[in-house]
Amino acid sequence: MLEIQNLTVRFQLPQGTITALEGVNLTLRDGEKLCVVGESGSGKSVLMLAVLCLLPENACVSGSILLDGEDLLQKSQKDLTEIRGMKLSYVPQGSGNSLNPLLRLGFQVSESLVAHRRLPRRGADQRSIQLLQQFHLGDEEQLVRSYPHTLSGGMRQRALLALGIAPEAPYLVADEPTKGLDSDRVGLVVDCFNSLEGCSLLCVTHDLTFAQQVADRVAIIYAGQMIEYETAERFFGSPRHPYSKALLDAVPERGLNAIPGFSPGHEDYTDACRFYNRCPCRTAQCQTQPKDRWDGERMVKCIYGAP
Amino acid sequence: MKQRNLLQGRAAAVTGMVLLLLILLVAVFAPALAPYDPWAMGTPYLPPSSEHLLGTNDIGQDILSELIYGTRVSMFIGVCAALITTIIGTAVGVLAGYFGGIVDHILMAVTNVVIVVPSLPLTVVLVAYLQAGLWNIIIALCVTAWAGTARLIRAQVMQLRQQPFVQLERTLGMGNGYIMLVHILPNVSGIILTRGALSVASAMLSEASLSFLGLGALGQKSWGAILNNAFFRNGVVNNCWWWYYPPILCICVCVVAFMLIGSWDDRRSRGQNLLAM
Ligand code: SF4
């Protein structure tokens, strides 16, 4: 079980302190698939990096991130090295240099198996081929011997998925795994995630259609705060937060009604609800920030969210 | 346009390598190539002739033979010094760049001190204190030369450390030593090779300067030592151009060869340019 308790992340910058994430509480149960949804800049990637303990040095983190009861934020680098290889695995974004340009793909896909599971090199290449075949990359035998720059963006994204699931770690963290993939290929990712048995998934995405197909539970992040935490079923049926409603209305299948306005910049945070300026249902009460309203396992941060 | 520069770079490097190959062949087959024993004495101050292609020196030693044997000494000193320099520089640069923080502060403090120390005077002083053996010269040449390489490599590694694939390795639970060896080193190999070649060039120049000043390895006929002889044993006064021009030319050719190799923009260093974008 992964429990994030009261997680706040601030960055010390020369211009001042930026609060990227504020008081986030959420739980990822064993075997559950949680999608964290938000716009870019909302703080969802910061949440993911915090879980991976990869935040840059100028970040101040408070709160706790408990992985099976052990606080990752208190761990030494050495312990983290062990946890990461065996318990926590990561699928990075395909854009950018997520693969070492000088090493063959097969080597990189099964690298963790060689290092942690002491798989012999040749067996590892076999395993790489199997893993890649799952994502229909085509001509996998050839592919394991090629260098990353020969892959297209979509291929690289899928290769990274293969790499992420290779260690068969009980926790998988994925960063925008469908970015740059067409809908058929997104289907492959969905199949892959749904076939991961016993694996808990924390997936950061802005693709709600994808989230609907894999998630058991959804967390919505807006302007550094978690504003709704809900089972996928209920969320996609009747979202409670006005922002969630707006997000769902903006999905192409539901008519592409974009939300007017922009999310506030870090310098514009006030005491009011962060969604105030764009909210169609705002009232005078919203001038003070609403509390996280928990009701069992669901949460909404809005004055209208009474159970 | 870019393509053309690249080809030119490759042509230059190939030229350098051909030159180097020739020089190495001369060094290896020195006994077969040299017409005389470089230590054997004969008629002094002979100008070039068919018998002594480059004449003789003040005690009648054949200069061509001295030069051919000198290739061995000069190359050995240059290559060894460059090797040590590059290994130290790479180790310091990679460690400082990868770990950052306090490790970086300490290593860079040392490096910066070494960089500001004037290297030739320091080397001269060191050689004067140590005994003038072959290895002491090599050590003295290395004492300051590694700092430049260390700085370059550190800068590159600091960029690499931020690259997603290095972050990914960490999330895969790879140890720091493993990441540095398998993922970082290959990505700086372009710089290492280039700097290594340039280090040979500068080590050979420094060695020549030391030998010229009479601080070279005792009893070893390097090119610098021949030059020293020509200067201090009346070669210049007697206008024996065949005595002092050829070693200068040899040093130049060697230095140019290594510099041309150092200009090589190989696939790996281009990979780094990709990274920098
Ligand atoms: S608290 Fe008010 S402003 Fe904020 S989302 Fe709810 S209704 Fe809108």
Any domain includes A126:
yes
Work out the angle between the directed axes of helices B2-28 and B63-99 (0-180°, nearest 10): 130
We report the CATH number of the domain holding residue B262 as 1.10.3720.10
**One domain for residues A80 and A221:** yes
Task: Find residue B78's DSSP bridge partners.
Answer: none
B191 vs A35: CA distance, rounded Å: 43
Any domain includes B44:
no
Question: Which residue in the set A57, A85, A101 is minimally distant from B172, CB to CB?
Answer: A85
More confident call, B248 vs B220: B248
**One domain for residues A69 and A208:** yes
Q: Which residues of chain B neighbour A115 with C-beta distances below 8 Å?
A: 172-174, 178
Give all strands of the β-sheet with A200-205 in edge-to-edge order.
A88-91, A171-175, A200-205, A33-37, A217-222, A225-231, A298-300, A293-295
**One domain for residues A70 and A186:** yes
**One domain for residues A43 and A125:** no
Asked which of A168, A184, A200 is the last residue of a domain, the reply is A168
Domain total in chain A: 2
- The model's pLDDT over B111-162, given as tens digits with 9 standing for 90+, comes to 999 999 888 888 888 888 887 788 888 988 898 899 999 999 999 999 998 8
**One domain for residues A112 and A252:** no
Q: How far off is chain A from B52, nearest CA to CA, in Å?
A: 53
Structural domain harbouring B119: 2-38+52-276
A55 vs A47: CA distance, rounded Å: 9
Structural domain harbouring A29: 2-87+169-259
Domain total in chain B: 1
**One domain for residues A107 and A247:** no
pLDDT category of residue B7 using cuts at 50, 70 and 90: low
Any domain includes B98:
yes
DSSP state of A148: G
Residue in B143, B179, B152 with CA at minimum distance from that of residue B163 = B179
The ipTM of this complex is 0.71
**One domain for residues A185 and A156:** no
Any domain includes A303:
no
Candidates B98, B162, B171, partner chain A, best to mutate (most A CBs within 10 A)? B171
* Mean pLDDT comparison of A4-8, A163-167, B267-271, highest-scoring range: A4-8
**One domain for residues A50 and A183:** yes
**Could you tell me the distance, in angstroms and rounded to a whole number, from the CA of residue A163 to the centre of ligand 1?**
41
**Contact with chain B for residue A54, Cβ under 8 A:** yes
Any domain includes B207:
yes
Any domain includes A306:
no
Asked which of A241, A259, A277 is the last residue of a domain, the reply is A259
Any domain includes A294:
no
pTM of the model: 0.76
- Find all residues with CB under 8 Å of B8, minimum gap 6, and list them: none
**One domain for residues A35 and A126:** no
Question: Which residue in the set B168, B182, B275 is minimally distant from A92, CB to CB?
Answer: B168
Q: What is residue B266's predicted lDDT score, i.e. its pLDDT? A: 53
- The model's pLDDT over A253-273, given as tens digits with 9 standing for 90+, comes to 777 777 777 788 777 788 889
Q: What is residue A155's predicted lDDT score, i.e. its pLDDT? A: 86
We report the CATH number of the domain holding residue A16 as 3.40.50.300
Any domain includes A224:
yes
**One domain for residues A183 and A164:** no
Any domain includes B218:
yes
- The model's pLDDT over B57-101, given as tens digits with 9 standing for 90+, comes to 878 888 899 999 999 999 999 999 999 999 999 999 999 999 988
Return contacts of B114-117, CB within 8 angstroms, 24+ apart.
Answer: B114/B143, B114/B144, B114/B146, B114/B147, B115/B144, B115/B147, B115/B148, B115/B151, B117/B144
